[in-house]
Amino acid sequence: MKTIVGFIAFLLIALTATADEGGVFTTPERPVDVNADFQESFFKTQPWINEFRYVVVVNKADDGKDAQTIKVYEYGQLIRKEFVSTGRDAFEKKGEHHSKKDSWSITPTGYYTPDWLDKDHRSSNYGGIFSKIIGGTKMPFSIFFNGPIALHEAPKGTEGALGSKASGGCIRLPETLAEDLFTRIKETNGARIPKFTVEGQALVDSTGHLLFRNEPGFSALIIVIKKVL
């Protein structure tokens, strides 16, 4: 009897647990890539970027020496460079890649900052037949920064695809980086965050002074570019 009660309780918890789109855009329109760029010289020519402790640059290009890579800068110094997997860049029908809905597997370019973090996130849009009960595909150490798009550890069994486009839209990270980056960014919560456009332009007042958001956030700037180097 206790076993049955326990199982029912488990089901209720699972069914009421927070679900999220988790890595995909389900809108009819294709997500837009903006004209975003980044160069290391920006630390000198665009000093507003130095307001962030961490600058995370993802290059979703298909070709070139920096294709499908992530670079992590701390106080303007490169501390990590690894291969990643960004979105497959296509419109995919329900059922493809175990998806639950029609969706765009796209990682849009642009400048962002983390919105929220979840160490043990699961996607409600990808998973097996029991995903409604036990949760969908695991997305460990998720750092959400653009709606449903997050940086997170590559799901088990997909590590071999790092270095190529393979995700539903999120940025898959190697295990050795995912937890470290999550911990680093989490520790910066409470920082003041400059206002900027998705194209990477700082917003200033009439006297030229940098504007800041009313609410504090994470001291991390996430930049997604598509640049063949």
For 199-210, what is each residue's pLDDT tens digit? 999 999 999 999
What are 121-143's pLDDT values in tens digits?
A: 988 766 555 555 555 789 999 99
Categorize the per-residue pLDDT at 15 as very low, low, confident or very high, splitting at 50, 70 and 90. Answer: very low
Please say whether the beta carbons of 186 and 117 come within 8 A.
yes
Contact 104, 91 (CB under 8 A): yes
Mean pLDDT throughout 7-25?
Answer: 44
Determine which of 80-84, 93-97, 184-188, 193-197 has the lowest per-residue pLDDT on average: 93-97
Q: Is there a contact between 64 and 55 (Cβ–Cβ < 8 Å)?
A: no
Distances (CA, A) of 134 to 24, 34, 120, 160, 223: 20, 37, 13, 26, 33
Q: What is the CA angle 133-147-192, rounded to 5?
A: 120
Three-state DSSP string of 9-20: HHHHHHHHCCCC
- pLDDT given at position 14: 35
* CATH architecture label of 19-225: Beta Barrel (2.40)
Q: Using one digit for the tens of pLDDT, what is the confidence trace for 44-58?
A: 999 999 999 999 999
Least confident of 15-19, 170-174, 201-205: 15-19
- Alpha-carbon torsion, ordered 95, 99, 102, 104, to 10 deg: -130
CA dihedral 105, 227, 201, 103 (to 10 degrees): -10
Alpha-carbon distance of 143 to 158, in angstroms, equals 19
94 versus 59: the higher-pLDDT residue is 59
Specify the amino acid at residue 125.
N
